[in-house]
Amino acid sequence: MTTPLAGYLLVAALLFAIGLGGALVRRNAILVLIGIELMLNAANLNLIAFWRFGPHPEALTGMMFAIFSIAVAAAEAAVGLGLVIAIYRHTNTAELDKIDRMKG
Amino acid sequence: MSLTFYLLAALTLAGGLAAVLLKHLVHCALAVTVAFAGLALLFLQLDAQFAGFAQILVYIGAVAILIVFAILLTRGSDLPKDGVFSKTWYLGLVIAAGVFAVLGWAVLASVRAIPQQDVVPTVTVHDIGIALVGRYVLPLEIVALLLTAATIGAVIVAMHEKERAK
């Protein structure tokens, strides 16, 4: 059957597809952000899996990449949700279909 | 491939699917927390203890709470009248399925070439700390600056708008 790394990569690919589908299909801006978070997490799983099964895990490259990615994702979530709240205050909705004017 | 891996993968994917498909936003937030927890357990399964605990602290501790706050502040708990999915949902479904098909094909086509070391890496938190202040000190400082800027930016963006001076 498949190797362990291939299993992890397939799980990450499936999670990425789920996140992408969620970001494309849902109307609510918060759900789109949740989809983006799922995609970022899938990428982190890839990084960690390659670190674990690749050569030279003691160099810590993949692990560091994943840790920095987690930190950047936290910043992204804070700014993204702040933007959603600001848009909600302005237009009274978080539904992306209804936010169709550039001019407030 | 152990039974633990299959269980954790099923938990993570079920959480992700539920987060995307459920109607109530609060349920979605709970489901995405389950997915985050499953991912943290997968990291632990991969012998990456530090990343696993960072995942628990950052995602379950901070991001999930932020999402819940945003849902409550935007009254996302009320159900919209015209459905939760956009009008062009089938297009998004096709794109997501296409992306998964390409990624899955790429993984399965390169099964022989991908590395498969089975030595458990012995990396302690001490090693990670030394690497963070040694080889990775510049990225660490940049991330610190980014987090500060993002926090201030998020507060300014979400702050209550005052009467603008004209």
* CATH number of the domain to which B60 belongs: 1.20.120.1200
B14 and B67 part of one domain: yes
> Do residue B70 and residue B141 come from a single domain?
no
pLDDT over 90 (residue A21):
yes
Other beta carbons less than 10 A from residue B65's beta carbon: 13
pLDDT for residue B166: 43
- B77 lies within 8 A of chain A by CB: no
**Å between A4 CA and nearest CA of chain B:** 6
Assembly ipTM: 0.91
Picking from A13, A16, A34, the nearest residue to B28 by CB comes out as A34
Here the tokens at position A77 are 């979530």
Which of B79, B114, B131 is a domain's end point? Answer: B79
Query: What does the pLDDT read at residue A43?
Result: 94
Residue that terminates a domain, selected from B49, B64, B79 = B79
The answer to whether A39 touches B141, Cβ cutoff 8 Å, is no
Q: Check B116 against A72: CB less than 8 A apart.
A: no
Using the Cβ of B84 and the Cβ atoms of chain A, whether some distance falls under 8 Å is answered with yes
Report the domain count for chain B. 2
Q: How near does any CA of chain B get to the CA of A101, in Å? A: 18
Residue B103 lies in a domain: no
pLDDT value of position A2: 65
CA distance B22 to chain A (A): 10
Residues of chain A contacting B80 with CB distance shorter than 8 Å: 27-28, 95
Residues of chain B with pLDDT under 50: 165-166
When pLDDT is cut at 50, 70 and 90, the band that residue A88 belongs to is: confident
* pLDDT for the residue numbered B164: 53
Please indicate whether, in this complex, the C-beta atoms of B86 and A27 are within 8 angstroms of each other: yes
Nearest to residue B97, comparing CAs of B105, B85, B107? Answer: B105
Q: Is the pLDDT of residue A37 over 70?
A: yes
Q: Which CATH number applies to A4-91? A: 1.10.287.3510
Residue B165: what pLDDT? 47
B142, two tokens: 């940049």
B2 and B75 inside one domain: yes
| Shared domain check, B68 and B141 | no
A18 vs chain B: nearest CA distance in angstroms? 6
Structure tokens at B30: 């709970």
- How far apart CA A13 and CA A17 sit, in angstroms, is 6
The answer, yes or no, to whether residue A40 has pLDDT greater than 90, is yes
* Chain B residues touching A79 at Cβ < 8 A: 150, 153-154, 157
Residue numbers of the domain that contains B133: 123-166
- Say which of A1, A30, A44 has its CB closest to residue B74: A30
> Would the pLDDT of A14 be above 50?
yes
Cα separation, B137 vs A1, whole angstroms: 41
Is residue B43 in some structural domain? yes
Give the closest residue to A31 by CA, choosing from B129, B29, B38, B82. Answer: B29
